[in-house]
Structure 1
Amino acid sequence: MTAYPHLLRPLELGHTTLRNRVLMGSMHTGLEETRDWNRVAEFYAARARGGVGLMVTGGMAPNKEGGVFPGAAGLFTPEDIANHRIVTDRVHAAEGKIAMQILHAGRYAYSPDCVGPSAVKSPISPFPPKELDEEGIEKQIADIATAAARAREAGYDGVEVMGSEGYFLNQFLVTHTNRREDRWGGSYENRMRLPVEVVRRVREAVGPDFIVIYRLSMIDLIPNGSSWEEVVQLAHAIEDAGASILNTGIGWHEARIPTIATSVPRKAFAWVTQKLMGEVSIPVITSNRINTPEVAEEVLAEGCADMVSMARPFLADADFVAKAAAGRSETIAPCIACNQACLDHTFSGKLSSCLVNPRACHETELTYAPAETPRKIAIVGAGPAGLSTALVAAERGHAVTLFDRADRIGGQLNMARMVPGKEEFHGLVDWYETMVAERGIELRLGTEVTPDTVAGYDAVVVATGVLPRDPAIPGQDAENVLSYIDVLRGGAEVGPRVAIVGAGGIGFDVAEYLAHQGESPTEDPELWQREWGVADPAEIRGGLAPEGPQPEASARQITLLQRKSEKLGKRLGKTTGWIHRASLQMKGVQMIGGVNYEAVTEEGLQISRGEARNDPETLAVDTVVLCAGQVPDRSLADALSDAGMPVHVIGGADVAAELDAKRAIDQGARLAATL
């Protein structure tokens, strides 16, 4: 008997059977571009061994002009086919199945060679596309069909044709990007001609006994997007053209509505896929913000889809399905949808990984081999860096004692999870608690560590974190001045008018926390849809509410300040920073850069502008919250060094500048792998 009968039920596709209803969705990891095919193969094989029913690779370009960026991977030569065969052979040896995604970027390509239905430039890429003529369109169709045939030759079990997220095929579907008046534009029958013809030609190229998935945009979230009637019409035509499965795409990349970030509710868009159930006879996959087996089971049990797509959860834990099947879901490392090591890396041209699991995409390079000589290791600090070190060291066979002066583990994660939109951090701390017990780590909380405390250990790791930086503002000792720690951890009373000193990640988090009242939209999908202006595409073309975003009013009047004259939030996550800025702007938070903090007075906070510091003004506020950065807490590390004890210093205690959990966890894991 399993807790996940729908999730673990096989799916019959006629010529083949998938062992369960779990798809590892496509992710652009950058692995294929490394040309290290053993590394690529091990990444996918690890997930195959972990029990996933079917995997889809990152997008492979069908030709030069269709690549997301210059040099994007694809199957262009016999050598490419042979290299991909290394991957598919390894996956099949692990009893897995894998499909190759064919992704033509269209106007989203970062290349002057990009092409599209019309010469309409994308707001998120620098080059206007060349409008294709009839011959050019035929070339794109033929190249996509050829890519599918080569995928079969390379040993793939199927292909996914990328038709959503605003990429090439999606661009032909809507008048937003298709201004043509020939047989590829105008009426919807003409605009959908290209994706239908592509699927027909792909099926013709690969034969009947091969999986063909079509990724269908079910809600575009852009002006003049597809209507629901058009979505259904296309779904029917794609099925008739020979698709085996329909996968769900949500929103174009240029849409100004978040679709997969941590502040998006779990299964936020499953209702859209459910609308298609019964309209077609082939299986339908739902996607976006499904990150636990419980949520996945619920989605299937409610009839929202025949199968679920989870991508980033397989970065966090390759053994997701196997652990769920074994009744050990509490040990699944959770995807917190932070984007920090996956999508932020992808869109920065870096190799992807995972904040929670630094081994993701580094399986052959970061290994946790059993220790030849188990040692007795003391780790001081049970925040992200210390926890990461402890888990890996214990996994390798070391005897680990984890100390912290606090009464619970988590460090600054315990502040992060108080912020509306970061509820996933609750699950991360819970997972760490589970794994500390699972690995047999001795936990000594409420302990102030001195050199005597850790005498006798074979190795000492100091992960004591950070302390708030002192901004040295005259008058900051007043009762109306609080630290971010007082606010997020201490629940200090904050007045109705607030000035926040410092607009880094913590400053934005504090602003979000103080602006919030009532239930978090992340916990209430209907409230979240109103906040961001998401509508039913059956009622409103493209799924954009005509009245726009309707956020709840801010609980306070908030001014967010920084010394730098640059745009506030510029240094936040590459793919999530805009969400944090937009959220606060919708709440009416005032953002001011290029200021000097002159003094805290009874009237509020006195500031001036620029180097001249002329014309100081006073912001009339009741409370000033200091979020002016952090400095390493090295007191214990210095004491140990003074006592002549060797010590490893990691995380914020090592370097506090632009500290994030991604770096701390990665540093801890890599240290523990060498101890």
Structure 2
Amino acid sequence: MLNITNIQPIKSNSGVSELEKKYEILFEPVKIGKVELKNRFCLAPMGPLGLSDSEGGFNQRGIDYYTRRAKGGTGLIITGVTFSDCKVEKQSMPNCPNSTYNPVHFVRTGREMTERIHAYGSKVFLQMSAGFGRVTIPTNLGEFPPVAPSPIQHRWLNKTCRPLEVEEIKSIIKSFGDGALNAKRAGFDGVQVHAVHEGYLLDQFAIAMFNQRTDEYGGSLENRLRFAKEIVEEIKSRCGDDYHVSLRFSLKSMIKDWREGALPGEEFEEKGRDIEEGIEAAKLLAKYGYDSLDVDVGTYDAWWWNHPPMYQEKGLYIPYAKMVKEAVDVPVFCAGRMDDPDIAAKAVREGACDIVSLGRPLLADPDYVNKLRAGKINEIRPCISCQEGCMGRIQEYSMLNCAVNPQAARERATQYNPVCRPKKVMIVGGGVAGCEAARVLAIRGHKPELFEQSSRLGGNLIPGGAPDFKHDDLRLASWYENQLNLLKVPVTLNTKVTKEFVKAHDYDVVIVATGSNPKTISLGDDEHVYTAADVLNKVKDPGERVVIVGGGLVGCETALWLARNGKKVTIVEALDKLLKVNPPLCSANKEMLERLIPYNKIDVLTSAKVTGFKNGVLTADVNGETKEISCDSVVLCIGYEPENSLYKQLEQEVPEIYLLGDARRVSNIMYAIWDAFEVANHI
């Protein structure tokens, strides 16, 4: 794996860095149909929840968000899903933009946005959806009954969907023509049809498992693709043959059964669209008039494919994109953890794709493209694939954000506030909260100084990043180290700050971000009872047979890492299921991790209260019955407690003092960073 945090530009005799030459192919101008892009980078479409107004236009937040990614150098901007249908699958407003709800207003706000995007030399497509059907997330469903091609099971609810009538299909098709024409008037360079992909409504029509119709929209592959065919024909008839129409397309569904997806490397019988039919579908869709295909794999029943968590490999769609690229004569887009520029450049060079799409990486750092072009790779803020700020918040709260970038989709509201009178600020603690506070304060013009009791910055990112699938956590820690160095923030390591130390120095403000400590309990033979951090940091050797006490996120990820390293692992959880007490996780992350546990032969004992550990045997009470598990060690993953003792000593003696991160409230990386940004941006 490329360690992009340590790369520095190497200048050749010509003055052009070797790094710039290495990635030169990514910055070539490229034509897709009649549209010429300044480089091969695209903002992958992501749900624009919170980016529209009550009339279906783009609000100021949405305009700023998309324009910011254009300013960052991205060649093509594709909006997240917008709608044109106002009759069949009605949307609660404001939800997502809608190009036909109030056409005059949509054109006005869309024009304001596209003109700003074009000022940076970028192009922009409007992604238009035929609807969600059986996969509509319940929080976005409102009072409207879910629809589908046939009376099939809803993805999330125990309800049967209502089949669409033919006249409703025709109404949706017409709305695409109306909406695309409004998009063209608003200055969009093309549209992307959403989607024969991920199991959305058009995909439900295309997949025989979901489409049980006997009319002209069911049966043969051609009939199941008729809906998609008539949409592109309608758009072309209204906007002209030269108007670019792209399509989101999943080559393979990865469905084992209803609501059951396959894992990477798993052998299974495909119940959805398999590769052979997918290749045939791609050929037909190109023949029907789609000018480019945006390729991935998966469905909502296997959501961790379309929205890959950190447990998926980087560049996971490349083999599938290449299959499509070799089968069609239209440009192919490829996304899916493509933030490693070596992987991206290789994919283009080897003919797997024409365009590299970045979704979450451009949430994390809107300047990714410009930084890469300038050879400043170690300045790119990494996406950690946690999906807490993006998919998790879309799913739970109907808004798009980013865990590591508090300004994403809130650019204007969270712009840095310059200071008139710089303050000298002491920050105690070098985890993500302390580092983020120091970074923001320095950018604004204050004079922060950071003190950390360990030998490096990063806090819980360090043990958290130990598993190979959490490598990006370590990249984030390195990014903070580099940022504070560039900003010339004084950092003192290996120093435990005391009350007396603080009072002996003249600081205007004190920020306490001293993190948290793992909870521990005595089980008897405590010599072989360790914390997860001790094991992850390789301070302790857990042996070959390990019992993890606690089935939350830390426990499950530690168990997975140990199992993949050849250990025999058992999870013992007091509650009736794993991952029950964590804050809302994106379903893609949660469901994949849940399935990876048995797939990696990890034993699980739930509703179990641990009672002791002696002579290599852990005992647990399971509903009144004693269970015994032989093991070499026990790893405690039973939560964390705030370390706020310094704050309590100082809170009545320091005029301006703040408590941040886990020291205030044990949570996740996102809230540590967000809270630190909020406070540091208003001191």
Instruction: Tell whether the structures are fold-level matches, with TM greater than 0.5.
Output: yes
> Which has the higher mean CA deviation after the structures are superposed, 51-60 or 430-439?
430-439
Whether 1:268 aligns to 2:268 is no
Change (3 A) 1:133 1:395: same
Change (3 A) 1:33 1:571: farther
Pairing partner for 1:230 from 267, 277, 280:
277
Pairing partner for 2:641 from 628, 631, 635:
631
Contact 1:382 1:402 in 2 (8 A): yes
Pairing partner for 2:65 from 43, 47, 66:
43
In structure 2, what is the Cα distance between the partners aligned to 1:19 and 1:672? 37
In structure 2, what is the Cα distance between the partners aligned to 1:83 and 1:465? 44
Change (3 A) 1:23 1:387: same
Pairing partner for 1:204 from 237, 244, 247:
237
Instruction: Name the structure 2 match of 1:87.
Output: 113
Instruction: Name the structure 2 match of 1:428.
Output: 476
Q: 1:411-457 deviations in whole A, cap 9, x for unaligned?
A: 11001111242122232222222212111111111111123434212
Contact 2:193 2:248 in 1 (8 A): yes
Q: 1:375-395 deviations in whole A, cap 9, x for unaligned?
A: 222211111111111111111
> Which has the higher mean CA deviation after the structures are superposed, 360-369 or 598-607?
598-607
Letter in 2 for 1:291: D
Letter in 2 for 1:92: H
Contact 1:568 1:593 in 2 (8 A): no
In structure 1, what is the Cα distance between the partners aligned to 2:651 and 2:149? 65
Q: 1:389-418 deviations in whole A, cap 9, x for unaligned?
A: 111111112222211111111111001111
Contact 1:568 1:591 in 2 (8 A): no
Change (3 A) 1:292 1:617: closer
In structure 1, what is the Cα distance between the partners aligned to 2:542 and 2:578? 26
Instruction: Name the structure 2 match of 1:52.
Output: 74
Change (3 A) 1:175 1:55: same
Q: 1:569-602 deviations in whole A, cap 9, x for unaligned?
A: 4636232111111111112222233333323323
Letter in 2 for 1:121: Q
SS in 1 for 2:555: helix
Change (3 A) 1:147 1:668: same
In structure 1, what is the Cα distance between the partners aligned to 2:607 and 2:341? 47
Aligned-pair CA distance for 1:638 = 2.5
Whether 1:240 aligns to 2:287 is yes
Whether 1:556 aligns to 2:563 is no
Letter in 1 for 2:171: K
Q: Structure 1 residue runs of 4+, over 4 Å off?
A: 33-36, 64-69, 566-570, 642-645
Q: 1:193-214 deviations in whole A, cap 9, x for unaligned?
A: 2212211111112223432111
Which 5+ residue runs of structure 2 have no aligned equivalent? 1-15, 256-269
In structure 2, what is the Cα distance between the partners aligned to 1:642 and 1:609? 47
Instruction: Name the structure 2 match of 1:25.
Output: 44
Correspondences of 1:3-14 after superposition (within 5 Å)? 3=21, 4-13=23-32
In structure 1, what is the Cα distance between the partners aligned to 2:577 and 2:385? 27
Letter in 2 for 1:106: G
SS in 1 for 2:45: coil
Pairing partner for 2:218 from 185, 203, 221:
185
In structure 2, what is the Cα distance between the partners aligned to 1:258 and 1:273? 14
State the TM-score, normalized to the length of structure 2.
Answer: 0.87
SS in 1 for 2:67: helix
Change (3 A) 1:262 1:89: same
Instruction: Name the structure 2 match of 1:385.
Output: 433
Instruction: Name the structure 1 match of 2:514.
Output: 464
Aligned-pair CA distance for 1:127 = 4.1
Letter in 2 for 1:287: A
Pairing partner for 2:154 from 113, 122, 128:
122
Instruction: Name the structure 2 match of 1:341.
Output: 389
Instruction: Name the structure 2 match of 1:552.
Output: none
Whether 1:493 aligns to 2:526 is no
Change (3 A) 1:196 1:86: same
In structure 1, what is the Cα distance between the partners aligned to 2:572 and 2:87? 44
Pairing partner for 1:661 from 660, 669, 679:
669
Change (3 A) 1:567 1:435: closer
Whether 1:105 aligns to 2:132 is yes
Whether 1:194 aligns to 2:206 is no
User: What CA RMSD, in Å, does the superposition of the two structures yield over aligned residues?
Assistant: 2.2
Letter in 1 for 2:348: L
Letter in 1 for 2:317: F
Instruction: Name the structure 2 match of 1:622.
Output: 632
Contact 1:258 1:579 in 2 (8 A): no
Instruction: Name the structure 2 match of 1:541.
Output: none
Pairing partner for 2:598 from 585, 603, 608:
585
> Which has the higher mean CA deviation after the structures are superposed, 626-635 or 27-36?
27-36
Tell me how many residue pairs correspond in the alignment: 631
In structure 1, what is the Cα distance between the partners aligned to 2:605 and 2:90? 36
Correspondences of 1:316-327 after superposition (within 5 Å)? 316-327=364-375
SS in 1 for 2:628: strand
Change (3 A) 1:232 1:406: same
Which 5+ residue runs of structure 1 have no aligned equivalent? 518-554
Whether 1:605 aligns to 2:618 is yes
In structure 2, what is the Cα distance between the partners aligned to 1:324 and 1:68? 42
In structure 2, what is the Cα distance between the partners aligned to 1:286 and 1:446? 45
In structure 2, what is the Cα distance between the partners aligned to 1:508 and 1:69? 37
